[in-house]
Amino acid sequence: MKADLIVLGIESSCDETSASILINGEIRSNRIATQDVHIKYGGVVPELASRAHQSNIVPVVDQALHEAGVRPYQLTAIAYTRGPGLLGALLVGASFAKAMALALNVPLIEVHHMHAHIHSLFIQDKKVSPLPFPFLCMTVSGGHTQLIKVKAPFVFDLLGETLDDAAGEAFDKIGKLMGLPYPAGPQIDALAKSGNSHAFVFPIPAVDGLNFSFSGLKTSLMNFLRRETEKNPNFIHENLADLCASVQHTIVKILTEKLKLAMKQESLNCFGIAGGVSANSYLRTTLQTIAMENGWNCTLPAREYTTDNAAMVAVTGYLSWHAQRIGNHANTADANLPFGFYPV
């Protein structure tokens, strides 16, 4: 009888400590401990993130194993996020994964955080089910905004990326200007539902090719808010829903215009989005409309797999196992792990 292939995934690149168990290509648990400690600082404080990962990692892994009904000795391999991310945060997951792999004498698999976001698109009804290649993936998170042509599970062409802020960073920084707590993305999404997306018009940056830029939008909003609050100190409060809807509309327009351009330029007919911002409800409905209008296939990850989670890391681990991309105990966490890295 063939032995079960059981992968433990561990994610600790930013402010989410997560562990997941994947058995024979099926997600059996995906535990996520979110760190509320950063809210009062308006952004992630790296030192506090590392400390919170230290407190959370053992219980989170324990819960993931327990929920899946798996004992540690049954694990086939352990996959962990090696980078990119905050170094101190990554080190917690890397050290834990190395120690556990060593103790159990199982292979260690290194995962690139952005590969894992892309592979989150392969989770359909909790099962690993790769999309037909090639397809376009737009990864939109707090740290990245990229357009990637995915030719095979680990063959990627980076077509474009942001030249300054990431889309999620834009949501968070703009939210902060409007007095919203960190992370502002989900709040802007919720507030925008009762606002008018055409109430205020902000400029779309002219960036050549398939690259993005979001810093101009932030500056333009900052200047706009300064002018308006000088006239009416309650301007933000009185117009919050309209401001959120208009800003969200602008960010979504910047993203979707480039996505359409990439699809046409590369003659593709299938795309997906991944990363924290892919949870945005307006972006999701806009993309579904675009897909319908153009006859394209559109895949949106289940919300649970949009923001940082270990299920996507376990999926990359599972695909790595099949591709024999096994890691090395001598390798360390890498805050700037290159997108094209190969584990040696």
Provide the minimum distance between the beta carbon of 214 and ligand KG4 in the complex, in angstroms, as a whole number: 11
If contact means CB under 5 to 8 A according to the sort of partner, which of Zn ion, ligand KG4, none does residue 189 touch?
ligand KG4
Q: Which of 122-130, 141-149, 210-218, 315-323 is the region at the interface with Zn ion (rule: CB under 5 A)?
A: 141-149
Q: Residue 4 carries which DSSP code? A: P
Closest C-alpha among 173, 191, 168 to residue 239: 191
Provide the minimum distance between the beta carbon of 140 and ligand KG4 in the complex, in angstroms, as a whole number: 8
Provide the β-strand partners of residue 80.
10, 110
Rounded Cα gap, residues 162 and 211, in angstroms: 5
Do the beta carbons of residue 333 and residue 87 sit within 8 Å? yes
Taking the alpha carbons of 169, 173, 178, 179 in that order, is the dihedral positive or negative? positive
Q: Does residue 172 touch ligand KG4 according to CB under 6 A?
A: yes
Q: Does residue 171 touch ligand KG4 according to CB under 6 A?
A: yes
Provide the minimum distance between the beta carbon of 311 and ligand KG4 in the complex, in angstroms, as a whole number: 13
Q: Candidates 308, 310, 314, 337: give the one binding Zn ion (CB under 5 A).
A: 308
Q: Select 15 or 308, whichever has its Cβ closest to Zn ion.
A: 308
Cα angle value 42/162/142 (rounded, 5°):
30
Between helices 235-265 and 281-294, what is the axis angle to 10°? 30
Q: Does residue 301 touch ligand KG4 according to CB under 6 A?
A: no
Q: Which of 225-233, 235-243, 276-284, 336-344 is the region at the interface with ligand KG4 (rule: CB under 6 A)?
A: 276-284
Rounded Cα gap, residues 222 and 197, in angstroms: 18
Rounded Cα gap, residues 103 and 227, in angstroms: 61
Q: Select 81 or 239, whichever has its Cβ closest to Zn ion.
A: 81
The encoded tokens of residue 117 equal: 């976001």
Number of residues in contact with ligand KG4 under rule CB under 6 A: 19
- In what order do the strands lie in the sheet containing 26-34? 108-112, 77-83, 6-11, 16-23, 26-34, 127-128, 123-124
If contact means CB under 5 to 8 A according to the sort of partner, which of Zn ion, ligand KG4, none does residue 186 touch?
ligand KG4
Strand-pair category, 297-299 with 270-274:
parallel
Containing H/E element for 234? none
Q: Which of 45-53, 65-73, 137-145, 235-243 is the region at the interface with ligand KG4 (rule: CB under 6 A)?
A: 137-145
Rounded Cα gap, residues 319 and 151, in angstroms: 14
Q: Which of 39-47, 56-64, 104-112, 274-282 is the region at the interface with ligand KG4 (rule: CB under 6 A)?
A: 274-282
Provide the minimum distance between the beta carbon of 248 and ligand KG4 in the complex, in angstroms, as a whole number: 8
* Residue 196, Cβ density class (10 Å: 0-12 exposed, 13-18 middle, ≥19 buried): middle
If contact means CB under 5 to 8 A according to the sort of partner, which of ligand KG4, Zn ion, none does residue 272 touch?
none
If contact means CB under 5 to 8 A according to the sort of partner, which of Zn ion, ligand KG4, none does residue 171 touch?
ligand KG4
Q: Candidates 35, 141, 187, 250: give the one binding Zn ion (CB under 5 A).
A: 141
Q: Does residue 279 touch ligand KG4 according to CB under 6 A?
A: yes
Rounded Cα gap, residues 215 and 198, in angstroms: 20
Q: Select 228 or 304, whichever has its Cβ closest to ligand KG4.
A: 304
Which residues form the interface with ligand KG4 (CB under 6 A)? 14, 141-143, 168, 171-172, 183-186, 189, 275-277, 279-280, 307-308
Q: Which chain residues interact with Zn ion by CB under 5 A?
A: 141, 308
